[in-house]
Structure 1
Amino acid sequence: MPGLGSVEAGSLGRAREPETFGFLQLTHPADEKVGWTGGLSVVTWRPAVRRLTRRGCPTDPPPSVPGVSASTTCSPAAGPPGQ
């Protein structure tokens, strides 16, 4: 069906998490916390592959790693840190 995707919940412990969403979907409208037309949705978030941090490049070690230089290893094409 378009717009609907199956979710592999994994183990029984993980399967309880989507089950909880179903429980909330029924109980919140019954308690008049949200309307019957409202609801919950599961959204998949995929972070950008090359995300720069305050340290510089994603591949840079944290400053607390002993014996490792804190200089950046990004190429100039990657842009300045923070973008």
Structure 2
Amino acid sequence: MASSSHSTLFGAPHPASSSLDPYRDQAGFLPLVPCHKCGTVFIGRVSQKPGSKGKRFYKCPLLEHTDFACGVYYFEEQYINYLVAKGVLPSRL
């Protein structure tokens, strides 16, 4: 996905990051919802890997460390689209 302060869902621009502040928890993460693949609630993390260091991402806790890992994760821009599609966040803020 292209790097930008805005993301898109079906061609509509997303709000700037600061307009999402009311939806963030004290740690700065967006609402955590169940994984669409296995139903386990996502967890939020900040990447420490080179190339994405400091970027927030959301993943299924079963992504690793299990024999039945579902492999679902989203960087924050993608996760915003996911939350809007699920009706957790409004499409326009």
* TM-score normalised over the length of structure 2: 0.24
Greater RCO, 1 or 2 (C-alpha within 8 Å, sep 6+): 2
* Larger helix share, 1 or 2: 1
Structure number with larger C-alpha Rg: 1
The structure carrying a bigger strand percent of its residues is: 2
